[in-house]
């Protein structure tokens, strides 16, 4: 069985407008992304990946570990 990889069109990121954290927060305040999970990565607003069970479990583990170390 061979895995198929989707190809994406090439995009010139350098030519895209990059938002600051302050601009992104103002955009969020408008409510335009209320139904979507987004994040700001290197100035570009992207869809947030869904959290896998393994990721969620690691977050819980690290929080408990941090609590034990009292960091």
How does pLDDT run across 28-66, given as a tens digit for each residue?
Answer: 999 999 988 999 998 989 888 888 899 889 999 999 999
User: Could you tell me the two tokens for 32?
Assistant: 């335009």
pLDDT of residue 8: 54
Predicted local distance difference test score (pLDDT) of residue 50 = 82
In order, the DSSP letters of 12-47 are -GGGS----HHHHHHHHHHTTTTTS-EEEETTEEEE
pTM, whole model, 2 decimals? Answer: 0.54
Both ends of the chain: CA-CA distance in Å?
Answer: 47
Q: Where does the pLDDT of residue 68 fall: very low under 50, low under 70, confident under 90, or very high at 90 and above?
A: confident
Please report, for the chain, the start and end positions of each structural domain, with discontinuous segments joined by +: 13-69
**pLDDT per position as a tens digit, 6-27:** 555 666 666 778 899 999 999 9
């Amino acid at each position: 069985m061979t895995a198929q990889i989707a190809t994406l069109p090439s995009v010139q990121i350098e030519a895209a407008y990059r938002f600051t954290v302050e601009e992104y927060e103002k955009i969020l305040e408008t409510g335009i992304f209320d139904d979507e999970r987004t994040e700001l990565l290197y100035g570009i607003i992207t869809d947030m990946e869904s959290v896998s069970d393994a990721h969620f479990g690691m977050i819980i583990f690290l929080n408990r570990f941090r609590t034990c170390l009292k960091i």
